[in-house]
Amino acid sequence: MKRFHILLALIVAVFCAGGMPAFADDGEFSPDFESVVFVPKGQWITGLSVSYSQSNQKNYQFLVLQGVSGDTYSFKLSPMLLYAFKNDVAAGGKFGYNRSLTKLENAEIVFDPDMSLDVDHLYRLSHSYHGMAVLRNYFSLGKSKRFGLFTEVQLDLGGGQAKLMTGMGEELTGNYERNFNLGIGVAPGMTVFLNNFSALEVNVGVLGFDYNHTKTITDQIYVANRNTQSAIFKVNLFSITFGVTFYL
């Protein structure tokens, strides 16, 4: 509970960014501190990240894994487009697509000399996609226009499909999955401008709620449904993202 109070205080401090605004007698906004515009109104913010990885194993051994033979690949694509509709405030969206394939000819999991598990002829193909609505608020570090912080509120909606097959001939069995997920989160980050048009940025999720529904059909006969919910109130190391953005 103490950590949650500290985290909440930090978020409030970031949003306030230097203090509460002052108002004149006529109700007009009158800032009581010198502000620096980090991202001016009318700025377009775009970025694209692409990653591809592939590996092949032949009689690979690692810890409890013995005799692993197979190959895998993974492809990820994630574009972003935001528009600053006022100074230091931008809104827009992100899109993500992920496709992965695993082919495992043979593998043995050895727990001890008297206990082991054999896996052979495993094939898994999956692809997922998601769209994310984003509202981002920027803050400069002091009077710097090169280093800045931002807080990002995210609404994520996505889904995907996957199929898994194991065995051969009469022992062949398989699963087909469809999933749907919904997420709401807050992700603060940091931006470092390389020049007037490009910047490096990193952000990490600290607050969020996720809902996931998965429907599984086994051997085209058995149907199962699974629902999961999770809430995050700490730094989520699995949500750290790095990227290059362009300001046009």
What are the domain boundaries of the chain? 39-247
Region 39-247: CATH code: 2.40.160
pLDDT category of residue 91 using cuts at 50, 70 and 90: very high
Q: Does the structure show a pLDDT above 50 at 14?
A: no
Question: What helix, strand, coil percent values describe the chain, rounded to 5?
Answer: 10, 70, 20
Report the C-alpha gap between 50 and 78 in whole angstroms.
7
Mean pLDDT to the nearest integer, 113-137: 79
Report the C-alpha gap between 222 and 202 in whole angstroms.
43
Q: Distance between alpha carbon 30 and the CA centroid of its chain, in Å? A: 38
Task: Identify the CA nearest to 84 among candidates 145, 48, 40, 46.
Answer: 40
Mean pLDDT to the nearest integer, 202-223: 84
Q: Following DSSP, what letter does each residue of 200-211 receive, concatenated?
A: EEEE---EEEEE
Q: Does the structure show a pLDDT above 60 at 27?
A: no
Mean pLDDT to the nearest integer, 76-87: 90
What b-and-e string marks burial along 156-192, b requiring 16 or more CB atoms within 10 Å of the CB?
bebebebebebeeeeeeeebebebebbbebbbbbebe
pLDDT category of residue 84 using cuts at 50, 70 and 90: very high
**H/E element holding 4?**
helix 2-16
**H/E element holding 12?**
helix 2-16
Question: Which distant-in-sequence residues (6+ apart) come within 8 Å of 185 by Cβ?
Answer: 153, 154, 156, 205, 207, 208, 209, 232, 239
233 strand-pairing partners: none
Report the mean per-residue pLDDT for the chain: 76
User: pLDDT of 151-162, one tens digit each?
Assistant: 888 899 999 998
Question: Which distant-in-sequence residues (6+ apart) come within 8 Å of 107 by Cβ?
Answer: 65, 66, 67, 68, 69, 70, 118, 119, 120, 122
Phi, psi of 104, deg, nearest 5: -120, 110
> How many of the other CB atoms lie within 10 Å of CB of 31?
11
Q: Does the structure show a pLDDT above 70 at 108?
A: no
